[in-house]
Structure 1
């Protein structure tokens, strides 16, 4: 999935350690925190003024912003002498996974950037096997992203975090609604119950989803739907 403007804002806000309220204050409260939250969830179509304010406040790359709205043709033609940072090159270009030729998504982009940075950092020092741990963790994260894609996982932002929700069971257990409806219903569930889900941290709970009762397993911000129940018990 290509970066949308909302995802770019969320990525850079999180990278800079800014809460929604803090970002709003940097904008002299011209944009409400709740609006920014909805924008990051792609529930808002921002005006030109909003785009300009957020681009300036977060120091976003204008080329990436233009591309997120599909205005690639307004970006200056490629200059063979142009110089990019590794981060810029990966974020501004469509890159294929060499194993299956699929375009890598936003999360894979960010993980790949971390891996390359780590490789360069390690190349400047004498390294023993123990110091390879950060690199191996990022490589494992790439594998986890791949597993999420193959097990029907979706990501749902909530406040300053992001839930990874495995919906394979919902899609396979004769659910009364299709994939798109499942995603909408889970986004609504997280927006209303996200704080309670975070409070649980580890364990199982029953949640109400579009008229159905489901047992879900929670491990931090990872939510896995296990099985559908007959009796509906609200979270």
Structure 2
């Protein structure tokens, strides 16, 4: 069965998550027991392949993709918008399958934060079933500290750029880490210029992946409302 290729962003989703997790094409293929050839994944990311339902499922599972984002990529978001009151989830499934906001800053938590939160919840339930010993709190406290460190790291890697009557939150972690010649100050200046010139178009996108020119470098970025996350540097420069 071949999936009908609608507005194809599935390849970009796969590329974004593979790069974010530091996986080469060969490594991702090996995680799939070589059921999908690296060259096939490469062509898929370049939108040169129409994946079968099995391929979509394998990659979604291996990369822990957001199922809603995958459905949206193929134009079937309506299949997952109806709330099922009878649906039953494990704690792990609920946290991984839903976009959860941090109650303190209203930002959607990252996948790393999701996994740490899962560990904390498991610890809470485990402690609630046992005779409480202060020494048993140590694993949970370590997870809470880890969650704090993740939050602080992500906060320091984000900058806020005002535009008209709103404010963009831009995650610059990838730009700082992927062997770019930018230092932090140059990154901030380049992104401020980008927001000034392209802010209206970014707001029009609302939710999706785009390629932008950042001071002569071509970058893939993810847009979620007023949140912009730079994913990976690309070879070709394609102006927004």
TM-score (norm 2): 0.50
1:26 is the counterpart of 2:39: no
Match of 1:73 in 2: 78
Contact 1:111/1:141 (CA < 8 Å) preserved in 2?
A: yes
| Partner SS for 2:172 | strand
How many residues end up aligned between the 2 structures?
A: 176
Contact 1:13/1:23 (CA < 8 Å) preserved in 2?
A: no
Q: 2:214 aligns with which of 182, 188, 201?
A: 182
TM-score (norm 1): 0.51
* Counterparts of 2:153 and 2:20, CA distance in 1: 22
Contact 1:156/1:164 (CA < 8 Å) preserved in 2?
A: no
* Counterparts of 1:109 and 1:87, CA distance in 2: 12
* Counterparts of 1:12 and 1:81, CA distance in 2: 35
1:137 is the counterpart of 2:146: yes
| Partner SS for 2:88 | coil
1:97 is the counterpart of 2:102: yes
| Partner SS for 2:83 | coil
* Counterparts of 2:56 and 2:120, CA distance in 1: 29
Unpaired stretches in structure 1, ≥5 consecutive residues? 193-209, 211-235
* Counterparts of 2:30 and 2:85, CA distance in 1: 39
Residue 68 (structure 1) shift:
4.7
* Counterparts of 2:67 and 2:98, CA distance in 1: 11
Match of 1:88 in 2: 93
Contact 2:117/2:147 (CA < 8 Å) preserved in 1?
A: yes
Match of 1:199 in 2: none
* Counterparts of 2:76 and 2:216, CA distance in 1: 28
* Counterparts of 1:164 and 1:22, CA distance in 2: 26
